[in-house]
């Protein structure tokens, strides 16, 4: 059931690789009629562009390409390959690239007053003043299996141990990087997706959102 919202509502979702944040954010976006943006998709697109065109000046190249990005077009591209994911985690450490993508995300939230953005530093860096903050947590085993099932659809030869190794490395890099590391905001509600199925996950998120809506947005 879709909900009508009066006034602005900005929700930020953070979490490690395959923690369920994208799934949760998409369903909540549909339920509450919010504009949806995946930070991870933007970063993977950036990685895809650099791998494809190998520009001499990555920063200038991305700055021009990201300005013209069409989110609907991104969703049609296959950006979930292991190669793109691993390369993305490397460029995500570069401050200049992070700043380019940060500017896009901040502009998106200003243009769309009712939106939900998911990523790894949304609550702590991109939208620290968001109305609602969620932090998704999933154990390595469940996260790896979830990712493995997705990748196997397009890559039947993929091995679970390869996926597990990749997720472990990605999360390590995200937590340890110097600029905008993966951290839980002090105000974020934890969503443990390893212990919750999709229905229970959305219910927990919705209950919290309804509480905020009752206090601030619904007459």
pLDDT, tens only, 11-22? 999 999 999 999
Rounded Cα gap, residues 99 and 96, in angstroms:
5
- pTM score of the predicted model: 0.91
User: Hey, what CATH topology would domain 9-216 get?
Assistant: Rossmann fold (3.40.50)
Cβ neighbours, 10 Å, residue 125: 20
Helices 160-176 and 140-152, interaxial angle, to 10°?
120
CA 195 from centroid of its chain's CA atoms: 20
Say what the pLDDT of residue 137 is. 97
DSSP state of 188: P
Tokens found for residue 117: 């953005």
3-class SS at 131?
Answer: coil
Say what the pLDDT of residue 93 is. 87
Say what the pLDDT of residue 183 is. 96
Rg (CA), the chain: 17
The helix (H) or strand (E) run that includes residue 210 is helix 198-216
Angle at 50 between CA 103 and CA 156, to 5 degrees: 110
Domain ranges of the chain: 9-216
Say what the pLDDT of residue 154 is. 85
Residues of the chain with pLDDT under 50: none
């Amino acid at each position: 059931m879709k909900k009508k919202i009066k006034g602005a509502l900005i929700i930020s979702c953070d979490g490690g690789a395959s923690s369920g944040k994208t799934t949760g954010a998409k369903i909540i976006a549909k339920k509450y009629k919010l504009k949806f943006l995946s930070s991870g998709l933007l970063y993977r697109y950036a990685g895809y562009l650099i791998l494809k065109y190998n520009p001499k000046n990555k920063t200038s190249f991305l700055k021009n390409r990201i300005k013209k990005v069409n989110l609907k077009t991104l969703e049609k591209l296959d950006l979930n390959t292991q190669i793109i994911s691993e390369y993305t985690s490397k460029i995500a450490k570069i401050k200049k690239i992070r700043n380019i993508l940060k500017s896009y995300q901040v502009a998106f939230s200003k243009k769309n007053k009712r939106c939900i953005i998911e990523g790894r530093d949304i609550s702590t860096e991109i939208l620290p003043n968001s109305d609602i903050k969620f932090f998704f947590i999933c154990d390595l085993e469940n996260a790896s299996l979830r990712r493995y099932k997705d990748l196997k659809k397009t890559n039947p030869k993929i091995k679970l141990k390869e996926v597990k190794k990749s997720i472990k490395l990605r999360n390590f890099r995200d937590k340890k990087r110097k600029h905008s590391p993966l951290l839980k905001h002090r105000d974020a509600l934890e969503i443990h997706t390893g212990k919750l199925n999709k229905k229970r996950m959305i219910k927990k998120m919705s209950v919290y959102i309804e509480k905020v809506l009752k206090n601030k947005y619904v007459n």
